[in-house]
Amino acid sequence: MAEEYSAQAEKTSQKKKSAFSRRTWDMIAGYSFISPFYILFAVFGVFPIFFSFYLAFFRWDGLNPMEFVGFNNFVIIFNDPLFWKSIYNTVIIGLMGTAPQLVVALLLAFALNSVLLKYKGIFRLAIFLPYVTSIVAVAIVFSVIFSNQESGLANTFLGFFGVDPITWTRSEWGAKFAIAAMVFWRWVGYNTIIYLAGMQAIPNDLYEAAKMDGATVRQQIWHITIPMLKPFIIFSVFTATIGALQVFAEPHIFQGRGGRPEGITIVLYLYRDAFGSNFFGTASATAIVLFFIIIIFSSLNMYFTNRIGRSKKVEVK
């Protein structure tokens, strides 16, 4: 009897081991399938981030041994007027290119969602097309439009109103306006489609009930559309803030390699330091400062965006 019990226990133990071994191999196989993504992300995503933090405290030209300099790289960039100029340009271009873009995208989405509009598919495709266009092609086309030549398209148009030709690439506000126009044109369609997707998820019953109560179109937008779109607005503001603070290709192509002080952005400043002057330490210090600037601006935008559509509390007497 004892022997039979022992044999049964051994069989049960072998079955458990076999099942455990099968689950282990299934788990290993699953992790093996998804591991390429995490390996590439660790090599090209996580490692550069931590290495930048490490490199910010060293002097390194990419060839010679690194030399520890403490916070000297931060002192160098904080005493460089061009660094502060690049931050100023980044904020101004971001405001000029992003803030109107979100408002226009909201209005375009509302128009595309209207039952009165025909051929919606064609309009949606036309609006989204700039997003899938190469940024280099966009910058080249806008470089032709905002040419410094008197016969340039923008200067010709301004000439009809008696405005003197503008040297767009070297003008303080002309360069910012041209770069902001590129940012606006490329991203307005992307945000329009996001808002449109959000609007199509809003039940029509709410609008019909509002119409029966005598609500105007403006009241419907303000009291129904905007509050219901709040998650989409937060997402678009969050991504637009990060994108605006990382503008690089537009000024890099529009003003030539390395840019000019009138339109240099903080990422372009970082790029010039790293790959133009081989000052990888100060470039990494700039990247860390940009990292905290993005956190601050994103947090402020999230705070103010969260207040959109929030109803005021009414005190009950």
Give the CATH number for residue 150: 1.10.3720.10
pTM of the model: 0.79
**157 belongs to a structural domain:** yes
Please identify every stretch of the chain with a pLDDT value under 50, giving residue numbers as ranges: 313-317
Q: Which domain holds residue 210?
A: 79-306
Nearest-angstrom CA–CA distance, 167 and 147: 7
Confidence (pLDDT) at 1: 56
**17 belongs to a structural domain:** no
The answer to whether 253 and 266 have CB atoms below 8 angstroms apart is no
**34 belongs to a structural domain:** no
Tally the domains of the chain. 1
Nearest-angstrom CA–CA distance, 176 and 189: 21
**141 belongs to a structural domain:** yes
**70 belongs to a structural domain:** no
**30 belongs to a structural domain:** no
Confidence (pLDDT) at 5: 62
Confidence (pLDDT) at 18: 67
Confidence (pLDDT) at 315: 44
Task: For the chain, report the end-to-end CA distance as a whole number of angstroms.
Answer: 84
**42 belongs to a structural domain:** no
Confidence (pLDDT) at 234: 86
The answer to whether 66 and 58 have CB atoms below 8 angstroms apart is yes
Nearest-angstrom CA–CA distance, 28 and 230: 42
Nearest-angstrom CA–CA distance, 252 and 255: 6
| Helices 230-244 + 280-306 axis angle, to 10 | 160
**243 belongs to a structural domain:** yes
* Residue of 76, 69, 46 whose CA lies nearest to 277: 76
The answer to whether 247 and 183 have CB atoms below 8 angstroms apart is yes
Nearest-angstrom CA–CA distance, 58 and 63: 13
